[in-house]
Copies of this chain bind each other. A is one copy, B any other.
Amino acid sequence: MLSTMQDVPLTVSRILTHGSTVHGGSEVITWTGEGEPQRRSFAEVGRRAARLAHALRDLGAAEGSVIGTLMWNNAEHLEAYLAIPSMGSVLHTLNLRLPPEQLAWIVNHAEDRTVIINGSLIPLLAPLLSQLPTLEHIVVAGPGDRSVLEGARARVHDYEELIAGRPESFDWPEIDEREAAALCYTSGTTGDPKGVLYSHRSLYLHSLQVNTAEAFALGSGDIALPVVPMFHVNAWGLPHAAFMAGASLLMPDRFLQPVPLAEMIETVRPTIGAAVPTIWQGLLAELDARPRDVASLHTVVIGGSACPPVLMRGFQERHGVRVVHAWGMTETSPLGTVSHPPAGVDEEAEWTYRATQGRFPASVEARLIGPDGERLPWDGAAAGELEIRGPWIAGAYYGGAHGETLRPEDKFSPDGWLRTGDVGTITPDGYLMLTDRAKDVIKSGGEWISSVELEGHLMAHPDVVEAAVVAVPDEKWGERPLATVVLAEGVSTGYAELKAFLGERIARWQLPERWTVIPSVPKTSVGKFDKKVLRRQYADGELDVTRLD
């Protein structure tokens, strides 16, 4: 029996219209690096978004057109964020940290015909222009040397001139909520980048969730500081969620270094911020060296990778800022879990809970899958790969040669759940504790051995500088761990001693038989252990391995 409720779609245009009317007095405050920050009311953002939509339509944008942005976090980027999906086109956020050839690949794959770019980023785009045949329009916002764009096949427009004098309202189309609204590519370490195509529905539901008390609880009294870039998974949902709740936004633009961050926090007094650990680590060091009043920040959300406990404690104990751990990925919009400890636990337990990735919201269904495909219990002990399902979780990629849907089987289960590639445990009360990437765990006789855990124990030995543990093939067990260690200068600790040291800390069956000393652990371009290289070196017989059975 169908209900009698109104059938109203959940769309980005609703967020835009709501924020710019009911919360028209809230502000987008963009840091300029000098003098007063730029302040623009939500009402003004709404009018400018309408003007932008008229302009983009005149440049040929239609429903379903993909429009790129290569921009910092600022008011113009927010206008594009809201206008492009609202007019039925698709916002494609381009990651300005990508290697040039990947950036070009992505623009071509998405067939961006228009790109809105900050003037300061022209040097990134200009050298690629000859490789971007689909690009017809470049819209430049803010200062920057435009001379290098002269002679480009694409037409170059000034953002302000383009939107000047256009109507301040737009008759936003009523879009099916399952239509695409935004596109973000994952920078996969293997294979071509793959696009995640968010829908109006997924962005809307995600925004509602972000604003709940179990997540970040944005309200109209808040000022949110998304340090996490808007090209990185929707800046974790903050721009949409803030506009929905009427929370003002402090946009750092390109000023992501510790000193300007500290200055903008002290000056504008945001209440909640979000960034990866590296950023907060730098800010903490700056604040410790030159204290400032940052106590307006009641919450700092950390995600992207696990947050060192010392960082959480440092912010809280020395600066009165509460750090909240969250987990997600491009494929999850990104809100997967948020770590608020349960009410009423003691301080020690609270810190234990806060070190976890946290709890799933109702819209994210989770299961742990063991090495043999079996479903594992939530007992805080059984480790499995995390699979999730929900209305803001990707069910496929926009990734084939002509943009067709891709469902690689290592990324999606046969019943459609996302295989996150993360391995961990879930406690009986629903807290996720991630320990490994699936590709880094060792599958030994139907059990998983955590390489991260072994590495942690090894690196606790006073003579060990670095340690990387990788899976190597084993006739009897399928896979076994190979321990590669970098010793401190001048020591010559034996393998037997290291193995005995490990043996006091982990189960016997997890102890590596294969050991090798290497001069340094190979690293990826972002400084992570590159275990692919170690596995290849082992396979090619390049490592001098000692066996201790």
**A297 touches B (CB below 8 Å):** no
Q: Can you list 5 A-B pairs, Cβ within 8 angstroms, ordered by A?
A: A1-B64, A6-B418, A8-B363, A18-B361, A22-B362
A198/B90 in contact, CB under 8 A = no
In the complex, the chain B residue whose C-beta lies closest to that of A245 is B214
The distance from the CB of A127 to the nearest CB of chain B, in whole angstroms, is 30
In the assembled complex, the Cα of A226 lies from the Cα of B212 at a distance in Å of: 19
Residues of B contacting A179 with CB < 8 Å?
1-3
Of the residues B7, B8, B405, contact of A4 by C-beta under 8 Å: B405
Query: 1/0 per residue A192-207: CB within 8 Å of B?
Result: 0001111111100101
Question: By the criterion CB–CB under 8 Å, are A390 and B8 in contact?
Answer: yes
A258 at interface (Cβ–Cβ under 8 A)?
Answer: no
* Cβ-neighbour of A7 out of B212, B340, B343, B395 (below 8 A): B395
* A28-55 contact mask (Cβ, 8 Å, vs B): 1 or 0: 0000000000000000000000000000
User: Bound complex: CA of A202 vs CA of B10, how far in Å?
Assistant: 12
Contact A340 B178 (CB under 8 A): no
A359 within 8 A of B: yes
Q: Find out whether the CB atom of B212 lies under 8 angstroms from the CB atom of A3.
A: no
| Distance between A68 CB and nearest chain B CB, rounded to angstroms | 15
**A7, A22, A179, A378 — most chain B CB neighbours (10 Å):** A22
A212 CA / B219 CA spacing, docked (Å):
8
Contact digits for A7-34, partner B, Cβ 8 Å, 1 yes 0 no: 1101000110111011111000000000
Q: Are A5 and B245 in contact (CB under 8 A)?
A: no
Is A327 interfacial (CB-CB < 8 Å)? no
Q: Which of B1, B8, B213 contacts A90 (CB 8 A)?
A: B1
Asked if A394 lies at the interface with its beta carbon under 8 angstroms from chain B, I say yes
Across-interface contacts of A314 in B (CB, < 8 A) = none
Check B1–A395 contact: CB distance below 8 A. Answer: no
Task: Point out the residues of chain B lying under 8 angstroms from A213, CB to CB.
Answer: 211-213, 217-219, 222, 245
Which residues of A354-371 are within 8 A (CB) of B? 359-363, 365
A66: nearest residue on chain B (CB-CB)?
Answer: B1
State A178–B7 Cα separation when bound (angstroms): 8
The smallest C-beta distance from A163 to any residue of chain B, in angstroms, reads: 24
Are the C-beta atoms of B196 and A365 separated by less than 8 Å? no
Assess the B393–A6 pair: CB atoms within 8 A.
yes
Interface positions of A (Cβ within 8 A of B): 1-8, 10, 14-15, 17-19, 21-25, 64, 90, 178-181, 195-202, 205, 207-209, 211-214, 217-222, 244-246, 340, 342-344, 359-363, 365, 378, 389-398, 405, 416, 418, 428-430
Residues of B within 8 A of A15 (CB): 362
Q: Which residues of B contact A3 (CB under 8 A)?
A: 178-181, 197-202
B24 touches A429 (CB 8 A): yes
Chain B residues, Cβ within 8 Å of A199:
2-3, 5
Minimum C-beta distance from A530 to chain B (A): 30
Question: Which residue on chain B has the smallest CB distance to residue A22?
Answer: B430
Please tell me if the beta carbons of B10 and A391 are within 8 angstroms of each other in the complex.
yes
A380 to chain B, nearest CB (A): 14
A342: chain B residues within 8 A (beta carbon): 25, 220-221
Closest residue on chain B to residue A208 by CB atoms: B208
Q: Do A22 and B218 touch (CB < 8 A)? A: no
Known pairs A394-B6, A429-B25; A220 contacts B211 (CB<8 A):
no
Name the residue on B nearest A196 (C-beta): B4
Tell me how far the C-beta of A159 lies from the nearest C-beta in chain B, rounded to whole angstroms. Answer: 25
- B-side contacts of A394, CB under 8 Å: 4-6
Minimum CB–CB distance for A326 against chain B, Å? 15
* Residues of B with C-beta under 8 A to A25: 342, 429
A15 smallest CB distance to B (angstroms): 6
A291: shortest Cβ distance to chain B, in Å?
26
Contact present for B24 and A220 (CB under 8 Å)? no
B6 x A391 contact (CB < 8 A): yes
**A430 is contacted by which of B21, B90, B181, B392 (Cβ under 8 Å)?**
B21
Residues A5 and B90 in contact, CB atoms below 8 Å apart: no
* Shortest distance from the beta carbon of A384 to any chain B beta carbon, whole Å: 16
Contact present for B396 and A4 (CB under 8 Å):
yes
- Determine the residue in chain B with the shortest Cβ distance to A427: B22
Tell me the complex Cα distance, A222–B344, Å. Answer: 11
- Which residue of B is nearest A271, CB measured? B343
Per the bound structure, the CA–CA distance linking A80 and B81 in Å amounts to: 43
A23 surroundings in chain B (CB, below 8 A): 429-430
Contacts of A14 in B (CB 8 A): 362-363, 365
**CA gap between A50 and B229 in the complex, in Å:** 45
A391 nearest CB neighbor, chain B only? B8
Kindly list chain B residues whose C-beta atoms are within 8 Å of the C-beta of A4: 180, 195-197, 394-398, 405
Min CB–CB distance A111 → chain B (angstroms): 11
**Residue in chain B with minimal CB distance to A244:** B362
Interface-centre pick from A362, A365, A393, A430 (highest chain B CB count, 10 A): A362
